[in-house]
Structure 1
Amino acid sequence: MSTQQSNPPASPGRGAIPTPLRVAQLDLAGPDGEVLSFGPALPPAGPDDGPASSDVYALVRLRGRPVATVVCRVPPGKSAADVVATEARALLARTGVPAADPAPAAPPPRTSVVVATRERADQLARALDSLLAQDHPDFEVVVVDNAPVTSATRDLIADAYAKQGVRYVHEPVPGLAVAHNRGVAEADGEVVAFTDDDVVADPHWLTALTRPFADDPGLGCTTGLILPARLGTPAQILLESHGGFAKGFTPTTYDPNDPPADEPLFPFTAGSFGSGANMAFRAAALRAAGGFDPATGTGTPARGGDDLYAFVSVLVAGHRLRYSPEALVWHHHRETWRDLENQAYGYGAGLTAYLTALLVRRPAVLPALLRKLPRGLARARTITAHRDSAGAAVPGAHGAQDYPWPRRLSRLERRGMLAGPIGYVRARRKVRGVRLPWEPTRREGTSS
């Protein structure tokens, strides 16, 4: 499921700095139709927001439905809308239009949206504004303030969002998985959706993410499309190329009883299913699977892997997982090189930490994991390999491994993979005694 792109601008030479790109979106009436709208992906946050660049990264929509991305250069004096539309039409003529999600037979179920946050009130406000503008007919928003050191998040909710129905929950134990479990315990929806405090959700996001649950009683999880809100710094561009959160534009159902033939490592390639900034679970299925492992995720020595563990947990429990590209959020990638170094290390650590969590908490998967381990190691070497930037597309298509990846980032990612199991063990010691918050508290004097 590669993100579809066309005619990227000349990529930088060896060691050169990637060129900033404007992030835009184009809506066409059809694959060869007229332009319905064209403009920035998100409204500018200020007069200096976004690069003044002739290179454009654009989401292509067909009457509102996301179908592709294109990267192109707008020559001086030319209309950006015309140039991007020409590229988009040519791309769709070559590749065809991805299939659409089927028309829903029933309205989406009652949903609780959980946003875990820590000391990022300004970003959180932007995310909450987009969540309150959703077209979903029946939902609530729960903000979980994870191990806060100030009252900024509590004050923000009380002053600006409580009257709009946003609920504030305090979780003193640090860790993203712990915060998510707290949100699951507080949620009253049949479905629990998760996103981050650094995203802006498309108005149709929640409906598109949750309506598959109404039509498929065996569905345990859904994920959606994540695109970059800004591509103004080298770190943002390289992250989009490598981590890339986008998983393509073709709706896909993953069924543990009918493994995909083109994914021999299924279900352990959980990163191909989606990401934690855009996911939803049937609440009963997630609780029955044990929720998120509290020894995984940002804020723990494991550094990540909480979403991957949850995806595989619901799959091995027999539930299906659905990827729906119409469920779109725009993610604000971190801007600095130091941020990118931390994320590269965290990607590696989170991957092996989640696999360690599976072996510790679900030892029945060990035979299948051992059978697939050689292929898995080869895949990991390919994904984390150093790649020179000469001749590569920036940003590159997801899964293509045709983008630059500096040697230092490659080493950090592989170092993280070696450290992940140790980090998970350390994290387990830290959260020992932390119970699932939806489990009843034992009374004193009762047997354990």
Structure 2
Amino acid sequence: MSALIGTKTVLPTVSVVIAAHTMKRWAYLKAAVASVQAQTVPAAETVVAVDHNPQLCERALQEFAGITVVPNIGQPGASATRNTGVRASHGEVVAFLDDDAIASPAWLETLLMHFSRPEVVGVGGGLVARWETRRPRWFPPEFDWVVGASYRGMAENAEPTRNVWSNNMAIRRRTHDDIGGFREDFGKIADRSHSEDTDLCLRAAAHDGGIWIYEPLGLAAHHVPAKRATLRFFLKRCFSEGQGKAALAAFYGLHQSTSTERGYIARVLSPGIARSMRDALHGDASGAFRGLAMAAGLVMTAAGFLAGRSPQPSRLRKRLR
């Protein structure tokens, strides 16, 4: 049954899929499920899809009353796990939330409002970094995507975008099924991370001739563990992102797969580095480190892209493993 907001807007039914894979995140998974259950517009169902972890699956079955729990018995990885969750769902729209994210109370309501426009195939929400430890002063807000959060320079109001992120997105179920869902051989498997969400967004938009919307008010908070607040993780994640974009370019060509990234360099990074240097000149010593981190992040992302385009494994790629 569709939800009625006020007296005019009828929202589509929505199923929420949360992909999980490790007992180490059990407390965060419980918080994610609780946040979905506390929505201003209730989900038709919540599905927890568990990636090849019988212990986690059994515990979720025992402790989550009224929640559908399904095991991924196909190919390991986040993409196949999310697809498994979708197959167990029945809503007109499928929303995805990570197992270490907490949705704000109006998360679903805010995302679903955009589906009143027939040209919208999907919507992604804003993500706030929830640091386990204090945020490092050298960590530039322009690179918050490194820890799975919205970064400085992203739109402050809802607008069309090339892609959104799978830790906070919603897509029409029909479109998801028509394109075969997430590409299961392309995505997060162990330490390998490819842009499976960008790939899904490009295929969905091309299939329906529609658009994606980034809605910054559809907020979720994403947990950032202490081990990700290090320079080593920062550089490694940048390198991995470059590799992922190289893999994406193999499907869509260089221009389409890097269109947003080229704009990001010109519109976000260049002013960001200049801002950091001005901060340093005005007495904020950490400003210089933020500027250096941005430059290093850009270099590592470019190195990862070049390594990903090369048929031979690079020495740098091996050292970062």
Check the 8 A contact 1:142/1:167 in 2, yes or no.
yes
Change (3 A) 1:233 1:138: closer
Q: Is 2:89 the counterpart of 1:201? A: no
1:327 partner letter: G
* 2:124 aligned partner: 223
Q: Is 2:250 the counterpart of 1:345? A: no
Local SS of the residue matching 2:247: helix
Equivalent of 1:294, from 177, 184, 187? Answer: 184
Identity %: 22
Q: Is 2:306 the counterpart of 1:418? A: yes
Q: What's the CA shift for 1:339? A: 3.3
Q: Distance in 1 between matches of 2:11 and 2:181?
A: 22
Q: Distance in 2 between matches of 1:196 and 1:346?
A: 20
* 1:280 aligned partner: 170
Check the 8 A contact 1:228/1:240 in 2, yes or no.
no
Deviations 1:113-151 (A, max 9, x none): 111121122221121111111122442111111132x61
> Unmatched 5+ residue regions in structure 1?
1-101, 255-269, 360-368, 394-401, 424-448
Local SS of the residue matching 1:173: coil
Change (3 A) 1:185 1:379: same
1:319 partner letter: G
Q: What's the CA shift for 1:387? A: 4.8
Q: Is 2:16 the counterpart of 1:113? A: yes
Q: Distance in 2 between matches of 1:321 and 1:103?
A: 25
Check the 8 A contact 1:351/1:417 in 2, yes or no.
yes
- Mark the structure with the bigger radius of gyration: 1
Change (3 A) 1:219 1:377: closer
Equivalent of 1:181, from 83, 87, 108? Answer: 83
* 1:330 aligned partner: 221
Q: Distance in 2 between matches of 1:301 and 1:356?
A: 20
Q: What's the CA shift for 1:379? A: 4.8
Q: Is 2:291 the counterpart of 1:404? A: yes
* 1:446 aligned partner: none
Q: What's the CA shift for 1:348? A: 1.7
Q: Distance in 2 between matches of 1:130 and 1:330?
A: 10
Equivalent of 1:391, from 272, 278, 281? Answer: 278
Q: What's the CA shift for 1:391? A: 3.0
Equivalent of 1:358, from 252, 277, 299? Answer: 252
Q: What's the CA shift for 1:334? A: 3.6
Change (3 A) 1:380 1:135: closer
Q: Distance in 2 between matches of 1:328 and 1:377?
A: 23
Change (3 A) 1:239 1:164: farther
Q: What's the CA shift for 1:178? A: 1.7
Which structure features the higher share of helix residues? 2
Equivalent of 2:35, from 94, 116, 130? Answer: 130
Q: Distance in 1 between matches of 2:260 and 2:135?
A: 29
Check the 8 A contact 2:140/2:291 in 1, yes or no.
no
Deviations 1:13-48 (A, max 9, x none): xxxxxxxxxxxxxxxxxxxxxxxxxxxxxxxxxxxx
Check the 8 A contact 1:239/1:333 in 2, yes or no.
no
Change (3 A) 1:284 1:144: same
Q: In angstroms, what is the RMSD of aligned CA positions?
A: 3.4
Check the 8 A contact 1:175/1:297 in 2, yes or no.
yes
- How many residues are matched? 283
Q: Distance in 2 between matches of 1:239 and 1:115?
A: 29
2:80 partner letter: V
Local SS of the residue matching 1:404: helix
Check the 8 A contact 1:123/1:198 in 2, yes or no.
yes
Q: What's the CA shift for 1:177? A: 1.5
Q: What's the CA shift for 1:411? A: 3.6
Local SS of the residue matching 2:218: strand
Change (3 A) 1:354 1:302: farther
Check the 8 A contact 2:243/2:307 in 1, yes or no.
yes
* 2:315 aligned partner: none
Local SS of the residue matching 1:229: strand
Change (3 A) 1:236 1:188: farther
Equivalent of 1:238, from 139, 149, 163? Answer: 139
TM-score if structure 2 supplies the norm length?
A: 0.75
